[in-house]
Amino acid sequence: MNPSTSPWGGRFQETPDILLRRFSESVSFDRRLYRQDILGSIAHATMLHEAGLLGAEEREEIVRGLEAIQEEIDQGVFPWSTDWEDLHMNIERALIARTPAGAKLHTGRSRNDQVATALRLWLKEEIDADRAAIQAVQSALVDWAERELDVLLPGYTHLQRAQPVLLAHHLLAYVEMLSRDSDRLREGRQRADVLPLGSGALAGSTLPLDRRRTAELLHFSQVAHNSMDAVSDRDFVVEYLASLALLGTHLSRFAEDLILWSTSEFGFVSLPEAFTTGSSLMPQKKNPDSLELVRGKAARLSGNLLSILILLKGLPLTYNRDLQEDKEALFDSADTALGCLRILAGLIPGVVVHRERCEQAASDPMLLATDLVDWLAHHGMAFREAHHAVGRLVALAESRKVSLAKLSAEDVAPLHPNLPSEWNEIWSPRAAIERRQTEGSSRPSFVRAEIERWRRQLRSE
């Protein structure tokens, strides 16, 4: 590389050391932004022409050159070179080789505001893809909930059986989580929808640039108000990574539920073979590797968020080269989250529910101990007194090695004179969930209404 041909060649007499060129290049990963970079350059050239800084023919030559370069990149024949550091310089070098007008394209522009613009354009598109993938998982969960609407299973706290719930109610809990994830991404997209281009390196430009026209061409809803903030702001990256980290946490929790449910110990479901693997040693194994990877990749999403927070915390205004390090974590999280969502959307329809095993587990009378407390409270006993009384009954049943439902009328009569006559009715798990009265509970009519609500909402998005 001749120093006179580098973007800063007028100042330097020596070429960068090859070690520095290899150490500092980003084209090996930031080339992913080529469509957005070219889109931004075409808009910039159009604005320069309208501002009288570029002739009509020059603008046409630049646009034709950039479109030809994009076609070469699309076809995989563009000659990327680490000698030219990043994708911006690779594209600009190729453009100048095609037309002398290419040397004017960088008028009023710095790579600082150029890369920030490309990154925001890319992120807006990526968020749209993420939200569509989230919706696909939600739809699969709603389908599953409707398909198995009458299946009961134990709900758990502390991974101990707690109370009976509908499987559909459990699944819709994840639909709620994913809805919040989608909302966070939508809100983050709004904050990413700000044009930095025209901020220059940090202080704006003396040239008559029409930033609002560029924003219109690139479909940004607003322009950045402070040029120093515009070129150094990566809050939109942090917000995106934070949203994906929490999304990953939710997907990991769902994966863990399915992993547990598919074990011999639980036996509630079987996973589709197409999303499981075997063992190289043990021929009987059917391992939930896809779900374990979803669970594992959640840690990666959290780690990428942390790396960018640490990257940013010590940077003075404005642009610093450290910011180059934002892209690999960003791209990795985007790919990882989208991959997890697509795996789950493919896996969920193939899950087989073992209804009898679920029903058997949900029929454990201990799961209705709270219903017994509620019955006593409804019949006038103070809740805390009722709680202790039922606790003593549980201890009595355990000492006799019988289920709670098998205690005699003599055992339960001291709690309330009407209890023996109604004792047997209390222990039906289906009757128990029908007794649920609070909005948002596992009562079947409420769950059916929620399925319909989600159907309408997902259709409207």
As a whole number, the mean pLDDT across the chain is 95
For residue 455, give the H/E element and its range: helix 444-460
Does residue 4 register a pLDDT over 60? no
pLDDT band, residue 10 (cuts 50/70/90) = low
Residue 8 pLDDT grade (very low, low, confident, very high; cuts 50, 70, 90): low
Residues in the chain: 461
Which pLDDT score, from 0 to 100, does residue 448 have? 98
Q: What is the DSSP string of 278-331?
A: --SS-TT--B-HHHHHHHHHHHHHHHHHHHHHHHHHTPPSS--GGGGGHHHHHH
Across 256-283, average pLDDT: 95
Cα angle: 103, vertex 105, 109; to 5 degrees: 120
* Locus of tokens 């190289």: 280
Mean pLDDT to the nearest integer, 266-291:
94
- Cα dist. 277→283, 284, 328 in Å? 11, 11, 30
pLDDT band, residue 5 (cuts 50/70/90): low
Residue 2 in this model has a pLDDT that exceeds 90: no
Over residues 430-459, the pLDDT tens digits come to 999 999 999 999 999 999 999 999 999 999
- pLDDT of residue 1 exceeding 80, the answer is no
Please name the residues in contact with 436: beta carbons below 8 A apart, sequence gap of 6 or more.
Answer: 442, 443, 446
Q: What pLDDT is recorded for position 47?
A: 98
Q: What is the pLDDT of residue 15?
A: 78
With bands split at pLDDT 50, 70 and 90, how would you rate the model's confidence at 21?
Answer: confident
Catalytic positions are 158, 279
Over range 302-311, report the average pLDDT. 98
The per-residue pLDDT for range 368-422, each reduced to its tens digit, is: 999 999 999 999 999 999 999 999 999 999 999 999 999 999 999 999 999 999 9
Name the pLDDT band for 134 (thresholds 50, 70, 90). very high
Structure confidence at residue 148 as a pLDDT band (50, 70, 90)? very high
- What are the φ/ψ torsions at residue 96 (nearest 5 degrees)? -65, -35
Which residue, among 110, 121, 104, has the nearest Cα to 49 in the 3D structure? 104
> What is the predicted pLDDT for the residue at 6?
62
User: Which stretch of 14-23, 225-234, 280-289, 372-381 has the lowest confidence by average pLDDT?
Assistant: 14-23
What angle is formed at CA 300 by the lines to CA 295 and CA 303, rounded to 5 degrees? 135
Q: Is 60 exceeded by the pLDDT of residue 3?
A: no
pLDDT of the residue at 18: 84
Q: Is 110 in a helix, a strand, or coil?
A: coil
